[in-house]
Amino acid sequence: MGGGLLLLPILMTLIEPKAAVAINTVGMLWNNVNKLWLFRRDLVTRVAWPLILGSLPGTVLGAWTLYVLPSLLLKRLLGAFVIGYLILGKPYRCRTETRTELPLAASMVDRPVALFGVGVITGYVSGALGIAGPLNTMFLLSFGLAKAAFVATNAMLSISSHVPKTLLYGGAGLFPDLWPAYLMALLPAVSLGSLVGKAVSPYLSERVFRVAISLVLVAAAAKLLLD
């Protein structure tokens, strides 16, 4: 979780930043296809489909924003939002420990129109910043999904934004000349990571899983605020 956010700065040290965003998008698309296949039986479709339908127009609008507005402002806002959620939502607590995790978000699970709106927001951020992992994570944890359902639903939501982003970034000519070589090195490593995650998942308690994700969110927020 948070792989795209951690991978992107590494790629940016090797190739031009916008090209790094494009390559990272394909890598994360492949990563989430792997995760969705491995956890396909745990997908919560009643949550996933409204989110996906909202994500598509949000992604297109976000990709357009990438070219007309400074992404630095969006990064700062997202970082502040993550910190606020960690303080108020307490995602590191298991559902049996607390019932105070963003109750408004929890109530959205049975409201498709509200889920559609969340999808627009996450798709927009994904298109504008190239990544939306922290935002997806915050909303899905707030919905009270168990860890396997969380992984599967998050993967499906991510795919719904990565596919149009890949097409839009490609149409804009953002991929570097040597993009096949980068992907040949990246995709097998991503697949291996997904298999390791699947193997380790049964041994992680709900508590450890949520704390681990919360720590990733802290690192993500710090990066967004301090970059």
Is a pLDDT exceeding 70 seen at residue 208? Answer: yes
Confidence bin at 100 (pLDDT 50/70/90): very low
Is a pLDDT exceeding 90 seen at residue 120? Answer: yes
Give the pLDDT score at 55.
92
Stated pTM of the model: 0.70
DSSP, collapsed to helix, strand or coil, labels residue 180 as helix
Q: 49-84 pLDDT, tens per residue? A: 999 999 999 999 988 887 777 767 766 776 777 777
The verdict on residue 196 lying in a domain is no
Contacts for 1 with CB less than 8 Å, ≥ 6 apart: 133, 137, 154, 212, 213, 216
The verdict on residue 49 lying in a domain is yes
The verdict on residue 185 lying in a domain is no
Q: Report the share of the chain in percent with pLDDT over 70.
A: 81
The verdict on residue 220 lying in a domain is no
The verdict on residue 204 lying in a domain is no
Instruction: Provide the domain limits for residue 92.
Output: 3-176
The verdict on residue 184 lying in a domain is no
Q: What is the DSSP string of 94-154?
A: -TTT-S-S-HHHHHGGG-HHHHHHHHHHHHHHHHHHS--HHHHHHHHHHTT--HHHHHHHH
The verdict on residue 110 lying in a domain is yes
The verdict on residue 82 lying in a domain is yes
Into how many domains does the chain fold? Answer: 1
Give the Cα-Cα-Cα angle 9, 14, 16 (nearest 5 degrees).
Answer: 85
* Rounded distance between C-alpha atoms, residue 82 and residue 220, angstroms: 8
